[in-house]
A and B are shown apart, each in its own frame.
Chain A
Amino acid sequence: MYNILIGGAAGQGIDTTVAILEKLLKKSGYFVYTTRDFMSRIRGGHNFSLLRFGNEIITSHSDNLDGIIALNDETALLHKYKLKENGFILCDSSLSIELPQMIKLNMDKVAKELGNKNVSGSIAVGAILKIFGESLNNIEDVLITSIKEQYLELNIKAINIGYESVEKKFEHMIGNFSDWMILTGSKALGLGAIASELKFYSAYPMSPSTSIMEYLASKSNEADIVVEQAEDEIAAINMAIGASYTGARSMTGTSGGGFCLMVEALGLSGIAEIPIVVVDVQRPGPATGLPTRTEQADLKFVISASQGEFPRMVIALRNHEDSFYQTIRAFNLAEKYQIPVIILSDQYLGDATSSVKPYDVSNINMTEPEKNYDKEDEYLRYRFVEDGISPRLLPGKSKNLVGIDSDEHDERGWITESAKMRTQMVDKRMKKLEKLEEELQEPEFLGQINFDTLLVGWGSTYGPISEAIKTLNENENMKYGALVFGDIYPLPSKLLEEKAAHAKNIINVEQNATGQLASLIREKTGIKCSRSILKYDGRQISGEEIVAEILKGGH
């Protein structure tokens, strides 16, 4: 597979260039995987994207580069050491530094001569296509979807000029991924929500979660969704709960800081038994932390957020498939158990683009609230039933009255301070967990069945761990396996206990400083990890880094 870096200052058009390249490479059959590394600023600074493509499934970014598109000197200087032996740096002639790997083109000057300085990116796209042995067959089809019609001809011309300016360096590989989708984790999540018949989304803008709101807003008229920007995250979640109470499938999304403000209402969803899906696209904290970067340090926070005790479910998204299918599952679990379901994503997954097999929507069955209550006895919102899941009616949809309360309440939903009722109500709510635990999904096992060392991870490190396991097991002396958790709270422990029983070593791989999964595993199962690989610099660990870390410790 190939790997290129496109870097420059914010505002130089990196995203546009990458988006066009991604589509062109996908169209010619490649699997495409792009990660984004950017600063919290609108202009200037140093931003880059890593675009990896090949004819096999790619699950991690890599720091071994075949090429760099350097939009400024800084990009070339910062990343040149990552180039492979025959790697190249494509840049404009105006760059002041000289490096042997450089292919300097008069992109800016030619673009100006063409009458629009913004087409210099297209000249670079043309050059990249040629360097990697691609044809120009798909450019019109792709550009038509990403560029305004009046600029189409000019950009095609620019691509042709770029194409003619360089020599081919690499061979085209035949891949079968041209019919796959290509999208970011956050868009996949948004699409999953739409497929779940989401009707109401309220949120306050916060990186890196805002792209979910933007995607849903862009499709709101088409998919009949009300997307409301709230005055703060407290309003956002209380609105989502209010809309869910009256029967619109609702979700809110934020990052850790906004989740902090939502915490009290999480308990409202818990005690009032109103289904709600809350997305936390994690970024490094605490407080403002690193707004545009990635971390997995909210796990222990979200599993215990809010005072008191109530059932909840936490699902960590591992990849672009999870982002879609697990979002649908989150809505169903929230409705079925009348609980808050928290989806943990992070900046890495949310902003990363990946090829993914087109989502199958033929088998989506959404769990709905009860239509009516036709039993002889009176309808009581919190009626005691065997599994703790009282029939949920929607207010105004029948003659029955639906009362909910954030105070401890009786079966009717009225305030009570009865000691007996209190205990019964807590038991009723916690009882729901018994059934929920039966349908937890065990972590995915990767690697060799007869492993010596077992890696454990959760969420978005799935891809890098999966690549690392593959690389490690290529050496026949090594036997590695891994368990990567999606469902993470309540913690599914059957497969873990089974695998841990014959592991010589267990290593937890996490994007946090304290090993939160290892700690949760130890709390729930008594299983101890013998070593931790932890990264908390705001940048996602790659498959290669995991391999290097593991080998450092001996095997």
Chain B
Amino acid sequence: MNTFNTYETAWCPGCGNHSILKCLKTALEELGKAPHEVLMVAGIGQAAKTPQYISANSFCGLHGRSLPAAVAAKIANEKLTVIVNTGDGDSYGEGGNHFIHNIRRNVDITHFVNDNQIYGLTKGQASPTTCEGQVTEVQTNGSSNTPLNPILMAIASGAGFVARAFSGDTEHLINIMKQAILYEGYAIVDILQPCVSFNKVNTFSYYKSRVYHLEEDYDSSNKILALQKSMEFDNQIPIGVIYKEIKPTFHQKNKVLSQGIPLLDNKTDVEIVKKLISEFI
């Protein structure tokens, strides 16, 4: 039995979340992580229930605000493996501002976005990644907004590890997840998944027929190539590590954290306080 197992989920049968959750548990197992070493962080949404269904430390915060909480949790205790696992609405909609700025911070956390291109918890409104023209109960004339391309945006904003995966290709997904968790710095994996209840466009077979593994000789360190690849989202959707580069992490760049002592264990000497007081005398 997997050490990360907990209880029955509240997701619909056939939801992509099931296989993503299974892959995550396997990835953590295969990496030899113990539950208490892992912190799962999410905001609100169907995918954001993930931390409840995995035996690990969990922080289920506010809608859209998982990233700020997660990066600061990692800043405070670098020994934790911090994983944000949440949805496209939480990550790119309500949390869009934090998405951009946490790429810039490059804190060593992993961000799995269960991207079903729709709002599931609120029953089927357009998400930032919903296709143009798709009709919903709110976008009654079809969504008129250009869908956000999270892969393109992440690379353009300076992310060092940007990948796409598909919930239906589990072996591949586990492999990508492991790479993302091991990557030193902010790693984002946009995981395509069907929403069986509310997205009748981007179905399992829709993705299944379009996704293909990046070619073996694909050079993920070539940023221009990666930007081109990231714009391929039509009849062909590449999955795999689209862009990767080694970048200094937040901890490496920060003078206090680069000492290598977890922040919460780094006690302030009372002599320093006395010295600071004397500066005002």
Contact = CB atoms under 8 A, between A and B. Distances in A.
Interface of A: 179-183, 187, 191, 194-195, 197-200, 202, 219-226, 228, 230-232, 234-236, 238-248, 250, 264-265, 268, 272, 358-359, 361, 364, 394-407, 413-415
Given A239-B68, A265-B62, A415-B49, A358 B281 contact: yes
B73 A245 contact: yes
B227 interface: no
A317 to B, nearest CB: 17
A221 B255 contact: yes
A245 B70 CA distance: 10
Contact of A230 (B57, B68, B254, B272): B68
Per DSSP, chain B at the interface is helix
B280 A394 contact: no
B68 A405 contact: no
Q: Which of B35, B49, B52, B59 has the most CB of A within 10 A?
A: B59
B274 A242 contact: no
Contact of A406 (B61, B70, B266): B61
Per DSSP, chain A at the interface is mixed
B76 interface: yes
B76 A202 contact: no
B264 A246 contact: yes
Given A250-B76, A265-B65, 9 more contacts: A200-B263, A224-B259, A226-B263, A230-B68, A246-B264, A361-B274, A396-B80, A401-B36, A407-B60
B44 interface: yes
B178 to A, nearest CB: 20
A117 to B, nearest CB: 30
B69 A415 contact: no
12 contacts: A179-B281, A181-B277, A234-B97, A239-B69, A243-B75, A246-B72, A247-B76, A250-B72, A359-B277, A402-B58, A404-B59, A406-B62
Contacts of A397: 77
B200 interface: no
B280 A226 contact: no
Contacts of B34: 399
A182 B280 contact: yes
Contact of A401 (B56, B61, B75, B255): B56
A231 B77 contact: no
A13 to B, nearest CB: 22
Contacts of B272: 194, 222-223
Contacts of B49: 415
A90 B264 CA distance: 53
B75 A248 contact: yes
B36 A404 contact: no
Given A180-B281, A231-B97, A402-B57, A245 B36 contact: no
Given A238-B62, A242-B72, A414-B52, A396 B57 contact: yes
A226 B71 contact: no
A248 B101 contact: no
A180 B44 CA distance: 52
Contacts of A198: 268
Contacts of B60: 403-407, 413, 415
Contacts of B254: 226
A405 to B, nearest CB: 4
A235 B280 CA distance: 32
Contact of B280 (A183, A250, A407): A183
Contact of B256 (A221, A236, A394, A403): A221
A200 B262 CA distance: 12
A235 B61 contact: no
B39 interface: yes
Contacts of B153: none
B264 A394 contact: yes
Contact of B65 (A238, A248, A394, A407): A238
Given A238-B69, A242-B59, A414-B52, A223 B280 contact: no
B70 A242 contact: yes
The 4 A-B residue pairs with the shortest CB-CB distance in the complex, in nearest-first order: A242-B69, A395-B57, A248-B76, A242-B72
A485 to B, nearest CB: 27
Interface in B36-86: 36-37, 39, 41, 44, 49, 51-52, 55-62, 65, 68-77, 79-80
Nearest to B81: A396
A187 B280 contact: yes
